Chain A
Amino acid sequence: MVQVRMESNLLGANDLLARKNRNLFSRQNLLVINLMSSPGSGKTTILEKTIENLDGKLSLGVIEGDLYTDNDARRIEQKGVKVIQINTEGACHLDAGMVGKAYNELPVDQLDLLFIENVGNLVCPAEFDLGEDFKAVVISTTEGNDKPLKYPLIFREAKVILLNKIDLLPYTNFNLQQFREDLAQINPTAPVFYVSGRTGEGISDWNDWLLGEVRIKRASS
């Protein structure tokens, strides 16, 4: 009998491809954001409003992850933004390999900012590094304020958090104070933007922050 020591990371293959992506993104000086949430939180609507509100101040690209449809990609395309669709055919998350392929189809030398809209899921996407600069997590008031406690990894990993459907707050039992207290223990440093993808409330503050992040990224190269 022999014992063979391995110490192989089960996500090692993905991590390797993520490092490759990160090198590619850095070469273009491109800020890349991995946008994640549960299904129906409003990721696509926020992207639509972000594009409208930026009004050409940044050149955007979007990689859309979806199990089967291209509905979201068509919505983004209508805003005049270059978008590449990835259909995962049932897989619950995007991986670095899928993103690397989609990236090659984008006119990357013309872009300042790339959003990767992940598959709606608060569990699996948190584990898969795509090579992004950082993760942004959307939660909506109709989901309830307990989501950070129920899905701590994704909220811990986020650099920024958006609370969407803030216009619906009075009609829900969402406890804003409890939400803030929970986040203070899980992720005290992430800024939180209170937005409505429907009315556009809070989107300009979010965009100002994005513009700042793009400037920081450019200055760092």
Chain B
Amino acid sequence: MHELSLMQSVMDILLESAEQNNICKINKVKLVVGRFSMALPDSLQFAFEAIATSEPLLDGAFLEIETRSIICQCLECGKKTELEDSYQFVCSGCESAKVEIIQGRELYLDYYEGD
């Protein structure tokens, strides 16, 4: 989707936080991206590299992206089902379609490391 503008908001958060914490060099940034968010890890990586080269605070920094699978929990029997290659929101235990997505929508900046 709009990975460049998402990454711009990561940069804004980082710049503000680094200043508050007296950090002048960031070495590593860690994002968590769920498979049911519309952001693509490869595009985020590309956007990060594009932005990091023009931002001294992040020059040479490494971006780690942890992707999270989609997990649904059945509202009938409570069983958790991981969706692998399909988007079939159906309980693998009782086949109920009354399931809640409990993982896979994540899109957040987890932490960063710096000096």
Contacts and interface: CB of A to CB of B under 8 A. Distances in A.
Interface of A: 1-11, 13, 91-93, 123-124, 126-127, 149, 152-153, 156, 184-189
Interface in B92-114: 97-98, 101, 107-114
Contact of A185 (B39, B87, B107, B112): B87
Taking residues whose C-beta sits less than 8 angstroms from the other chain, chain B's interface range is 20 to 34
Given A1-B114, A127-B37, A185-B89, A6 B2 contact: no
B42 interface: no
B97 A1 contact: no
Contacts, number: 85
Interface in B61-115: 87-90, 97-98, 101, 107-115
Nearest to A14: B9
Interface string B1-41: 11000100110010001000101000100010000111100
B97 A188 contact: yes
A83 to B, nearest CB: 26
A3 B112 contact: yes
A72 B2 CA distance: 24
B2 A8 contact: no
Given A152-B87, A186-B87, A188-B97, A7 B110 contact: yes
A9 B1 contact: no
Contacts of A6: 13, 17, 108-112
A3 B84 CA distance: 32
Contact of B108 (A10, A123, A152, A186): A10
